[in-house]
Every structure is written in structure tokens, then in C-alpha cells.
């Protein structure tokens, strides 16, 4: 296989402004290297992360999606992450019923001090997604002939 | 029972406790029923009650036209519809002070019985202003609520996806599932927003998946399982499975069933520090 044909996963990370985004920032200022496969989308709070963004991410061709925010108790808005946690619990069940691959949706808590952990998480997800290959299932949905 | 219902409605209209009765009327042909809006006491004879009274009439309580025309509606509800009323009240969508809820004892609808009725545990409506009738030969212990879902979940994830690829390819985006749902009361639906488009509007698998995910999840822990969406779907898609999966998740994780307890905090919109997070790395 020529080098141009090697599969590079496309990963979207929806992160909260106050913890995970600063964690990524810390990784950068500490010159910690992590794969460039990730596209970070900064949002005010995990409580703001609409599940539609996850669907949209897959529609736009993401192979894996990471949703990450403040550890419980650390939310800048006191309780945004607790609300998000409830919604994710339910949302995962819905996706499981639809047969969407839950291995491609990751949820983590990463604080502003965990630059190293952020790099590790991104590396792990990239490696895992690379092993799984492109997310053909959702492409099948998006590229189906008009019904 | 029907006579008692008509008498009650006549009194409500005569005493001006209600200015419209939202109930069921007989179709001109066949045994079916349709919603009727009775405003005059002499018209109450149009009201009927049978096991063909499928519609969840609480959907009209948030209808803009109804709200603009009437200020003291009275609505006829079955047990499952009464649960929807509790959720609407919780969501601040109805004012129970100005409306009347007439509960009818219901032994189940449809012939054969609708899927929801086998697991029904609200044959007698709760939290209504009055209840008319008794359930004769009340069914024995209801069957498991999530039986259909559990059977479906025996399939592997790829099989499940394959099933939905087939089912949702038939969706024509008529949005009947939205129009008939009492919980879908948003003035402007996300699906109608086009600057930018959030959900693809053409009847294509891409938008159909996004739409059904959205529709189901917006009712998460609010859907009372009246199954109206499934009944009205012209493509015959079993939307019930999606609703059941969220209902089961809410019950399993948060011990919450919508519409049963007027005082319980809604599962989505509240939280507990002890919520499970075993899926979060």
C-alpha cells in the first residue's frame, strides 16, 4: 500500500472550555506530542454538548468522537457535567438500539491539569480507531441512494 | 359509562367550567373514532367511547389554535394519556387550574389489543380531575414492559443497524410522529430550522437517521409510551422500539418512569451525584 492510501482516522473531540480544552492547551505548552488526527471543537460546557453534534460529526465523516469535560464536582457552571452524564447514559442506549458502534464514541473527564492524560487519551483513541478502520456503517447511511 | 361521560361533559359546558370538550367522535364509516371538539351542551351526544379510541388527545392542549380559541379546555384521557398530562404539567405546558381532565377507565384499545396495552399498569387513569367507569375483568399481572425491546436486543449490533437501514429507508419525513406526539410541543422544531440545516430534510437515510434519533431522544424520560407515533406512521416503522430503549434506560439507571408521580423530578433536567458513569473513561 502506498503511503497516501494509509487510513488516517478522523476524530472529533467536543470538549468543554474550562477543563479539557485547557488540558489540551497544557499538552501544547508542555510540548507533549499527540496525533494530529483529532479536531477539537470547543464548547462552553459538556452540558451544552447537544447529542445532535455527535450525529452531525458522524455525518461529516468522523471515524470516532470524543466528548470530554470537567471531572464531577469541577464544573465551572456547578452542575453542567452532571446533567450531561445523565443524557449520555440515555443516549448511549438509544444508539445501541439503533446498532451504532458504541466503540466509536468516547466519554472522558479530563481536567485543566491533565495535559499528559489528554495526549494519552487522544493517542489511545487514534490507535483504537486505526485498528477498527473507517466507520463504514455511517458512510453507508450517508451515501445510500435516494430512497 | 358513556351516558355518564356525556352527562359530565354536558354539566361542564352548562356550568361554564369548560368551554370545549376534547373527546372522541364516531367515524361516519367503520368502527373508528376521530377527535371532536364539543362547545355546545346539546352536542355531547357526539361523544363516544370504545376500544377504538386510540388518539392521545392531550396533544391538543398545547395546540396554538386551541389555545387561542379556548381558555378552559376539558380533555378526555385514558390511563396512558393521563401520564402525558402529568409530564406536560411538569414541563409547564398546561395549567391544571384552568383545565379539566376527564379520565376514562380503559381495558385496552385495538382489536387485537395494541402492543402497549399488554404491559399497561394504568387502566385507571391517575391524577385526573375525575375518573369515569370501572375496568371489568381487569387483566391479570401486566406482561413485562420491555419484552419487545429485549427480544430485539438479542440481535447483534450489525443486525440491528441492518434492520434500521431497512426500516428508516421507508420514512418519508411526513413528521406525523412529531405532530401526534403530546411531548413535541416546540413552537419551532429543530427539524424545521434551515439556517443552517441541522437535520437533512430530504427523505434520505442520512436525514432519516438524524431525525429519528432526534425525535426519540427529545422525548427521553418524557415519553409515556402512548405509541401514537408508531400508530400513525404511514410507513409502519416500529418507532416504539426506540422509545422503549430510552424508557428502559431511564428506569434502569434513574428508577424513573415519566408521568406516574406528579412530584418526582424529571430524570432529564435533574441529576444525582451517584449517577453511574462506568462508560466514562
Q: Which one of B132, B165, B182 terminates a domain?
A: B132
* Beta bridge partner(s), residue B24: B35
- The secondary element (H helix, E strand) that includes residue B209 is helix B205-218
Mean local confidence (pLDDT), A11-38 = 95
B269–chain A Cβ distance below 8 A for any pair: yes
The partner residue sitting opposite A90, judged by closest CB among B160, B250, B272, is: B250
Indicate whether B116 and B151 sit together in one domain.
Answer: no
User: Nearest residue on chain A to B277, judged by CA atoms?
Assistant: A85
Q: Do B102 and B161 fall within a single domain?
A: no
Q: Residue B231, preceding bond cis, omega within 30 degrees?
A: no
Q: Which residue of B has its CA nearest to A144?
A: B205
Identify the closest residue of chain B to A120 by CA–CA distance.
B281
SS3 at position B248? helix
Chain B residues touching A88 at Cβ < 8 A: 279-280
Q: Give the pLDDT band (50/70/90) at residue B139.
A: low
Could A55 and B213 be called an inter-chain contact, meaning their C-beta atoms sit closer than 8 Å?
A: yes
Cβ neighbors of A12 (< 8 A, separation 6 or more) are: A38, A39, A41, A57, A60, A62, A64, A65, A66
Chain B residues in contact with A140 (beta carbon < 8 A): 165
For residues B48 and B25, the answer to whether their CB atoms sit within 8 Å is yes
pLDDT band for position B10 (50/70/90)?
very high
Cβ atoms of B21 and B13 within 8 Å: the answer is yes
Beta bridge partners of B21: B38, B74
Regarding whether B58 and B117 lie in a shared domain, the answer is: yes
Using the 8-state DSSP alphabet, how is residue B194 labeled?
Answer: B
Residues B112 and B163 in one domain: no
| Number of other CB atoms surrounding residue B167 within 10 Å | 18
Residues 97-116 of A with CB under 8 A from B: 97-102, 106-109
Using CA atoms, how far apart are residues A105 and A108, in angstroms rounded to an integer? 10
pLDDT tens across B188-211, in order?
Answer: 999 998 888 889 888 889 999 999
Contact B228, B54 (CB under 8 A): yes
CB atoms within 10 A of CB A134: 15
The ipTM estimated for the assembled molecules is 0.90
Grid cell for residue B70 = 379556548
Question: Cβ(B220)–Cβ(B181) under 8 Å?
Answer: no
Whether B259 maps to a domain, the answer reads: no
Please check whether residues B205 and B97 belong to one and the same domain.
no
User: Rounded to whole angstroms, how far apart are CA atoms B128 and B188?
Assistant: 29
For residue B251, the chain A residues in CB contact (below 8 A) are: none
pLDDT attached to residue B277: 85
Q: What is the pLDDT of residues B248-276, one digit of tens each?
A: 999 999 999 999 999 999 999 899 998 88
* pLDDT over threshold 90, residue B154: yes
| Mean pLDDT computed over every residue of chain B | 91
B271 half-sphere exposure, CB direction, 13 A CA radius: 20
Model pLDDT, residue A31: 95
Q: Check CB contact under 8 Å for B280 and A121.
A: no
Count of structural domains within chain B: 2
Burial group, residue B137, by CB count within 10 angstroms (0-12, 13-18, 19+): exposed
- In chain A, residues with a C-beta closer than 8 Å to the C-beta of B204 are 144, 146-147
CA-nearest residue to A118 within chain B is B281
Q: Is B128 in the same domain as B105? A: yes
- Asked if A93 lies within 8 A of B248 by C-beta distance, the reply is yes
Domain ranges of chain A: 7-142
| pLDDT per position as a tens digit, A101-121 | 999 999 999 999 999 999 999
- Cis geometry, peptide bond prior to residue B112 (ω within 30 degrees of 0): yes
Contact assignment for B160 to A99 by CB distance below 8 Å: yes
Q: Give every CB contact of residue A140 below 8 A, 6+ residues apart in sequence.
A: B165
Are B115 and B155 members of one domain?
Answer: no
Question: Do B159 and B234 share a structural domain?
Answer: yes
The verdict on a CB contact (< 8 Å) between B269 and A83 is: yes
Assigned domain for B7 exists: yes
Identify the pLDDT of residue B137. 67
Residue B237 contacts A where some CB pair is shorter than 8 Å: no
The confidence score (pLDDT) of residue A2 equals 54
Cell numbers at B244, concatenated? 422503549
Q: Which residues of B89-105 are buried (b: 16+ CB within 10 A; e: fewer)?
A: bbeeebeeeebbbbbbb
Could A93 and B245 be called an inter-chain contact, meaning their C-beta atoms sit closer than 8 Å? yes
Assess if residue B76 is contained within a domain. yes
A136 touches chain B (CB under 8 A): no
For B280, residues 6+ apart whose C-beta sits below 8 A from its C-beta are: A85, A88, A107, A108, A109
The residue range of the domain holding B224 is 147-254
Sign of torsion over alpha carbons B233, B235, B236, B240? negative
Q: How far, rounded to the nearest angstrom, does the alpha carbon of residue B58 sit from its chain's CA centroid?
A: 8
Are B109 and B190 part of one and the same domain?
no
Whether B170 and B234 share a structural domain: yes
CA angle B64, B66, B69 (to 5 degrees): 110
- The 3-state DSSP composition of chain A as helix, strand, coil percent (nearest 5) reads 50, 15, 35
pLDDT digit string (tens) for B215-259? 999 999 999 999 999 999 999 999 999 999 999 999 999 999 999
Nearest to A41 by CA among A9, A18, A15: A15
- Both B9 and B40 in one domain: the answer is yes
Among residues A3, A36, A33, A9, which one has the least CA distance to residue A104? A9
Closest CA to B39 of B2, B8, B56, B14: B14
Do B124 and B154 fall within a single domain? Answer: no
Is there a contact between A97 and B152 if contact means CB atoms under 8 Å apart?
yes
Closest CB from A56, A91, A140 relative to B217: A91
Contact (Cβ atoms closer than 8 angstroms) between residue B59 and residue B180 = yes
Where among B132, B156, B183 does a domain terminate?
B132
What percentage of chain A reaches a pLDDT higher than 90?
Answer: 84
Domain A7-142 has what CATH class?
Answer: alpha beta
Amino acid at each position: 500500500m502506498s503511503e497516501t492510501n494509509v487510513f488516517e482516522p478522523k476524530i472529533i473531540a467536543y470538549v468543554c472550555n474550562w477543563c479539557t480544552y485547557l488540558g489540551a492547551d497544557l499538552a501544547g505548552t508542555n510540548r507533549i506530542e499527540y496525533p494530529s488526527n483529532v479536531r477539537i471543537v470547543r464548547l462552553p460546557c459538556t452540558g451544552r454538548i447537544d447529542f445532535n453534534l455527535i450525529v452531525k460529526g458522524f455525518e461529516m465523516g468522523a471515524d470516532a468522537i470524543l466528548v470530554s469535560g470537567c471531572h464531577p464536582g469541577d464544573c465551572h457552571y456547578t452542575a453542567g457535567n452532571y446533567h450531561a452524564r445523565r443524557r449520555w447514559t440515555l443516549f448511549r442506549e438509544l444508539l445501541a438500539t439503533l446498532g451504532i458502534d458504541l466503540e466509536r464514541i468516547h466519554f472522558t473527564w479530563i481536567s485543566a491539569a491533565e495535559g499528559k492524560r489528554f495526549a494519552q487519551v487522544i493517542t489511545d483513541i487514534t490507535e483504537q480507531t486505526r485498528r477498527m478502520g473507517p466507520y463504514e456503517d455511517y458512510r453507508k447511511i450517508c451515501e445510500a441512494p435516494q430512497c | 359509562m358513556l351516558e355518564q361521560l356525556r352527562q359530565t361533559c354536558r354539566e361542564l359546558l352548562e356550568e361554564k367550567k369548560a368551554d370545549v370538550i376534547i373527546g372522541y367522535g364516531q367515524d361516519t364509516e367503520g368502527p373508528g373514532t376521530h377527535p371532536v371538539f364539543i362547545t355546545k351542551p346539546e352536542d355531547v351526544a357526539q361523544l363516544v367511547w370504545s376500544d377504538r379510541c386510540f388518539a392521545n388527545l392531550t396533544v391538543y392542549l398545547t395546540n396554538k389554535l386551541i389555545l387561542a380559541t379556548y381558555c378552559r379546555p376539558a380533555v378526555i384521557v385514558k390511563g396512558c394519556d393521563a401520564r402525558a398530562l402529568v409530564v406536560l404539567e411538569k414541563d409547564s405546558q398546561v395549567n391544571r387550574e384552568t383545565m379539566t381532565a376527564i379520565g376514562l377507565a380503559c381495558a385496552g384499545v385495538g382489536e387485537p389489543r395494541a402492543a402497549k396495552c399488554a404491559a399497561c399498569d394504568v387502566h385507571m387513569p391517575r391524577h385526573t380531575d375525575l375518573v369515569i367507569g370501572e375496568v371489568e375483568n381487569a387483566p391479570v399481572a401486566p406482561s413485562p414492559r420491555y419484552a419487545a425491546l429485549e427480544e430485539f436486543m438479542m440481535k447483534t449490533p450489525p443486525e440491528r443497524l441492518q434492520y434500521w437501514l431497512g426500516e428508516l429507508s421507508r420514512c418519508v419525513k411526513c413528521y406525523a410522529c412529531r405532530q401526534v406526539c403530546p411531548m413535541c410541543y416546540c413552537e419551532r422544531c429543530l427539524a424545521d430550522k434551515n439556517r443552517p440545516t441541522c437535520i437533512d430534510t430530504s427523505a434520505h437515510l442520512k436525514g432519516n437517521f438524524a431525525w429519528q434519533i432526534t425525535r426519540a431522544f427529545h422525548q427521553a424520560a418524557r415519553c409515556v409510551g402512548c405509541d401514537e407515533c408508531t400508530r400513525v406512521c404511514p410507513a409502519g416503522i416500529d418507532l416504539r422500539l426506540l422509545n422503549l430503549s430510552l424508557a428502559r434506560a431511564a428506569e434502569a439507571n434513574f428508577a424513573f418512569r415519566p408521568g406516574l408521580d406528579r412530584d418526582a423530578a424529571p430524570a432529564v433536567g435533574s441529576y444525582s451525584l451517584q449517577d453511574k458513569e462506568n462508560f466514562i473513561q
